[in-house]
Amino acid sequence: MPARYWLFKSEPSSYSLDDLIRDGVAEWDGVRNYQARNSLRDDVKAGDGVLFYHSSTDPIAVVGTATVMRGGYPDHTAWDPRSKHPDPKSSPDNPIWYMVDLRAAERFRNPVTMDTLRANAAVSDMLVLRRGMRLSIQPVTTAQWKVVRAMGRPQAV
């Protein structure tokens, strides 16, 4: 199975690409949306590529890439009452939420903004550009991955 590609959203004020670079391998925890959970649990695999997207900031942009180091496994922060996103319905025996491990791979010399994405016909149909699209874990096609990455002029981190 060839690697798949994804777009992960993050608000840089809460967790930025630089934070991920600093942390090395990081647990992508706290996802509490069922559709995103299903992707994490079933489809995001070690070796997959991630477009790292900064939301709720200026400029909103894809700022780099990351690599999935470990595929979906239970999000243990859900049953930790002191975590940021506790869910009392989740337990080790019956986990509801899942996470993956990420490592930063590249930083873009040219962060690719929403305007840039919209203006490029090859990627203007990306889910992230859709009005009202709040999903924080989105699939990206191989073609979209290639185009966005090339536009970003990636530099290994």
Q: Which is nearer to DNA, 104 or 137 (CB)?
A: 137
Cβ contact 44:99 at 8 Å: no
CB of 85 to DNA, least distance (A): 8
CB of 67 to DNA, least distance (A): 22
Half-sphere exposure of 77 (CA within 13 A, CB side): 12
CB of 37 to DNA, least distance (A): 8
Q: Which is nearer to DNA, 46 or 129 (CB)?
A: 129
- Residues whose CB is less than 8 angstroms from the CB of residue 78 and which lie 6 or more positions away in sequence, other chains included: 85, 86, 87, 90, 95, 96, 97
Q: Which is nearer to DNA, 136 or 144 (CB)?
A: 136
Tell me which residues touch DNA (CB under 7 A): 9, 11, 32-35, 55-56, 60, 114, 128, 131-136
CB of 131 to DNA, least distance (A): 6
Q: Which is nearer to DNA, 33 or 83 (CB)?
A: 33
Half-sphere exposure of 51 (CA within 13 A, CB side): 35
CB of 16 to DNA, least distance (A): 14
Residue reference for tokens 């981190």: 157
Cβ contact 7:134 at 8 Å: no
Cβ contact 144:122 at 8 Å: yes
Q: Which is nearer to DNA, 14 or 155 (CB)?
A: 14
